[in-house]
Amino acid sequence: MRNFLKQTFASLVGSLLGLIIFTGIGTTGLLLLLFAAASSKDSGPEVKDKSVVVFDLSMSITDGEPNSDPIFQKALSGVEENRMALRQVLETVEKARRDPKIVGIYLDATRTDATNSAGYASLKEVRQALEKFRESGKKIVAYGKDWGEKEYYLSSVADTVVLNPLGMMEVNGLSSQPMFLAGAMQKYGIGVQVVRVGKFKGAVEPFILTKLSPENREQTQKLLDDVWSEWRNAVGGSRKIAPQKLQAIADNQALLEAPEAKTRGLVDRVAYVDEVVTDLKKLTASDKDDKTFRQISLSEYAQVPGKSVGLERKSKNEIAVVYAEGEIVDGKGGDGEIGGDRFAKIFNKLRQDKDVKAVILRVNSPGGSATAAEVMQREVRLTRQVKPVVVSMGDVAASGGYWISSDSNRIFAEPNTITGSIGVFGLLFNGQKLANDNGITWDSVKTATYADSQTVSRPKSPQELAIYQRSVNRIYNMFLNKVSQGRKLPESRVAEIAQGRVWSGTAAKAIGLVDEIGGLNTAIEYAAKQAKLGKDWQVKEYPQNSSFEERFFGKATQEAQSALGMKAAEIKPSNPLTAEFQKLQEELATLQKMNDPQGVYARLPFNLKIE
């Protein structure tokens, strides 16, 4: 028995020591790996002479910096994260244009398992950067198997556009297919009451109608027409095809097989990928025996310091770029949300920072909480009194997104930016029928007439609805007044173009809601001139990402999850039915983010998507 206990104890101690040693070595190895990955940022990857930058068009392009560090993510999984910030993409393409070691860009449109989440306004900026690259005399080659409008919008810039012999091209125009939940809510006994201002305020329609109202259909049609017109003009200009011919293809053919796409002038060549690789080997002067051409991915090339080509700036004078991306929510907010209090603190800090000479508010938001938008807008206004504040609108800057933009020195938008939607609404849900049908009832005891007006046990009375309507009217009038003062427009004129109506960037400029057509870099250059900085300035971005150490020790789990698999939103649904379920999931997620303390929202139609 004694020997058994001794052997067991010795075995246990040995196992523990082994585990400690193994863990120590493993941890040390991991830390060394991560240290090496972090250190590699300083020197950057090696770029060989006559290299081609590979731009994967399925890459997810965000406004602000992605939450996860690509170096850290690659160290954990060995796989590069397919996400980059828009400004980083633009700077990397410009760096490639100036770099004598780079001879071309390869636009890879072969991936069909993921989708680029960027909208047409962001893609417009990327397209312009690619056009500038091509104008420098360097080559762009695009290759795809199954092109949609988004991928082809960028690919059409290329000197040579190549389609797989079995490939297809979709040129069938743009559409928006809202999902309506009113029938489901009625079926399951969920009551919905609405208070709103603005005949075009379509955000509430999914909950009270089974199809688009005439007003909502009108505004959606005009928006799609504007975005589609820009697509036809841009693509037609690059491919030397009249916009009318592109319209005829969309109306009569929609899907083009490879030979027909070449006949129509949409592609230059029908070939397999190995044939394209052979051509790129010649461009890069690669050896015939090499497995592929001399290349570097866009995300890897982004880590190459831009000092050698004159892109890095060092200055005490800062232009702050604040990314307001996502739903506007009350309070601090989380990742992917614009927390009113958190962003107000950022502007408060920037206003008092003497090194910050101007502020760019980059808006990519459908809106949300009216209260949170007002908290932010107040800080924007106070900051403008001290230093220039310039707004750059991304894919969407509407409703609450326009609220926070209205009191700036100047507003820039792309032609296909979605903006406007100046209107407010409230949604009042109740579960009376659902509960009663399942044997649940309520009773009430109160000390005043409206003491239980917040209940979800019954519909609101006409008197209670009148109270909510007064609140919505007051906030709408406040919205109109802010736009009137900020844009220097008569309030009667603002009331005429408001009504919750959505506009494209082109239309918004024509009616005075936007000052100038242009992207983020154009807005930054304008701010530098307004602050009289000349060339002596550098950009600093907010909200600031956590440090490498904080990211590793404080958010390791989140990073590991991101490293080990793509998020659901980045995966293209395998079939149309799955896509509709995903759309429903997104609708319900939006409802969860509605946390305005007054229950009043300035937001776009929930499911306004251009496909």
User: Which residues are catalytically annotated?
Assistant: 201, 399
Q: Which residues pair with 105 in a beta bridge?
A: 53, 140
> How many other CB atoms are there within 10 angstroms of residue 589's CB atom?
11
Closest to 63 in 3D by CA, of 43, 36, 90: 90
Instruction: Give me Rg for the CA atoms of the chain.
Output: 27
In angstroms, the CA 103 to CA 579 distance is 39
Q: Tokens 């770099």 sit at which residue?
A: 99
Tally DSSP H helices, then E strands, for the chain: 23, 23
Residue by residue, DSSP assigns 51-111 as EEEEEETT-EEESS--SS-HHHHHHHHSS---EEEHHHHHHHHHHHHH-TTEEEEEEEE--
* Sign of the four-CA dihedral 91, 224, 609, 502: positive
In angstroms, the CA 510 to CA 518 distance is 14
Are 277 and 294 a contacting pair, CB within 8 Å?
A: no
Strand 367-369 to 356-365 pairing: unpaired
Residue 85: phi and psi, rounded to 5, are: -80, 145
Coil, strand or helix: which one is 118?
Answer: coil
Are 95 and 311 a contacting pair, CB within 8 Å?
A: yes
Are 160 and 238 a contacting pair, CB within 8 Å?
A: no
Distant-in-sequence, close-in-space partners of 531: CB < 8 Å, separation ≥ 6:
317, 319, 357, 358, 387, 388, 537
In angstroms, the CA 65 to CA 83 distance is 9
Instruction: Give the pair of three-digit tokens for residue 62.
Output: 């965000």
Alpha helices in 329-426, H assignment, sequence order: 340-352, 370-384, 400-403
Residue by residue, DSSP assigns 240-288 as T--HHHHHHHHHHTEEEEHHHHHHTTS-SEE--HHHHHHHHHHHTT--T
In angstroms, the CA 144 to CA 158 distance is 12
Residue by residue, DSSP assigns 448-512 as STTTTTT-SSSPPPHHHHHHHHHHHHHHHHHHHHHHHHHHT--HHHHHHH-TT-EEEHHHHHHTT
In angstroms, the CA 218 to CA 194 distance is 21
Instruction: Give the pair of three-digit tokens for residue 374.
Output: 């007002």
